[in-house]
Copies of this chain bind each other. A is one copy, B any other.
Amino acid sequence: MISYETSQNMITLLSMGKIRSERVFLTSALGRILAEDIIADRDYPSHPTSAMDGYAVLHSDFGEFESLEILGDNPAGADEIGGVMSGTCIKTFTGSLMPKGSDTLIPIENVRVEGEQIVIEKRVPAGFAVRPVGESYREGEILIAKGTKLGFAEIGVLAGINRVMIRVAQRPKVAIIATGSEILDIGESSRHAGQIRSSNSYTLQALVDALGGESVQMGIVGDDKSAIMERFEEAIHSCDIIVSTGGVSVGDYDFVKHIVPRLGAEVIFKGVNIKPGQHVMVAQRGEKFIVSLPGFAYSSTVTFILYAAPLMARMMGIENPYEVIEATLKVPFAKRSNKSEFTACNLTFEEGRYWVDFEGKKTGSSAILTNLLGNTGLMICGEEDGDLESGTLVRVIKL
């Protein structure tokens, strides 16, 4: 069995092919991964623009004139604006272009209007409340780099430069296959106690969707070699990643581990010294990947996060699907094995740092999915680590 670190290095070194991109409408781009650099095609603003409501003036007029003649009105969005000459001003509003000749905006609050004149009661520095050309950005500047996840600010900036269609990474298509004769799909009636309600397919679909992939539910297939083979063949034609659960352990009915190599896929690794999920298997066929996870709910979820999520991320041109942070143990932690352990923990942020405890988390088999509910992280404990004292700084995968 290889170590966790070796398995992660192997994932990082896999050759992934070129990032596939597509163009989407701006309003569908939220949360997608940018597949091009976004470069400013002009200075913004392109002209000096007023940042307040007031009067556009020449700063050198301050002290020279008792009052300034109001030449007119310059509402935002106006096209033709007269110029300001010494001794005059033009009423100018937030968002309006500054009239020619003017260099400063004196706010409404700073003047007294007397007929067609203004008297300046409180001076402002030269250039006051004028957005200079290029205040926000300059032509040629990279505004948003390839590989950025598009959030609200990116969407706004794209709108501001009139980008209607955006090139983003395609969503990796991820097939989800649950294997096991005991598994009952949601909505199906139970016929006897030996059947277990499936949660894996739906947990994994939610993980795929949340990471920006496109999930394809292939359904449940019993412990039958030819049925499993057929379902995998179907999935590999249409999808980029096939994620399966079950059938990788040492039991007589664990067929998945035998079938994957027969699909013409090269097994990258089978078995990692981790807890949970030691039987996980990753295989590659051309530019497609098969990630075979164990069947227990907690194991399959953790191993998806460790192995399938990074493959999805790399297909979209990003390195890390989850943030790994340092946190302080509030309580001692008893290590249970000589493996790298991934333990569900409560993650809280208090007094400027993250804290880890295990209140309400159950120890037991790797079937306990409820341990991942709530504000949960996955605490990483290395192979060579022993029991940890409270106060120890630990690494936690933020979910």
Contact = CB atoms under 8 A, between A and B. Distances in A.
B295 A207 contact: no
A86 interface: no
Interface residues of A, number: 111
A109 to B, nearest CB: 7
A3 interface: no
A251 to B, nearest CB: 4
B153 A301 contact: yes
A46 interface: yes
A357 interface: no
A239 to B, nearest CB: 17
Contact of A352 (B77, B196, B251, B326): B326
A79 interface: yes
A73 interface: yes
A376 B153 contact: yes
A202 interface: yes
Contact of A156 (B136, B182, B200): B200
5 contacts: A79-B191, A136-B364, A152-B207, A159-B197, A162-B186
Interface of A: 26-27, 30-31, 45-47, 49, 51-53, 73, 75-79, 81, 91, 93-97, 108-109, 129, 131-132, 135-137, 143-144, 148, 151-164, 180-183, 186-187, 191-207, 209-210, 222-223, 246, 249-254, 295-297, 301, 323, 325-328, 349, 351-354, 362, 364-370, 372-374, 376, 393, 399
Top 6 nearest A-B pairs (CB, nearest first) are A156-B203, A77-B182, A77-B181, A153-B372, A53-B251, A160-B199
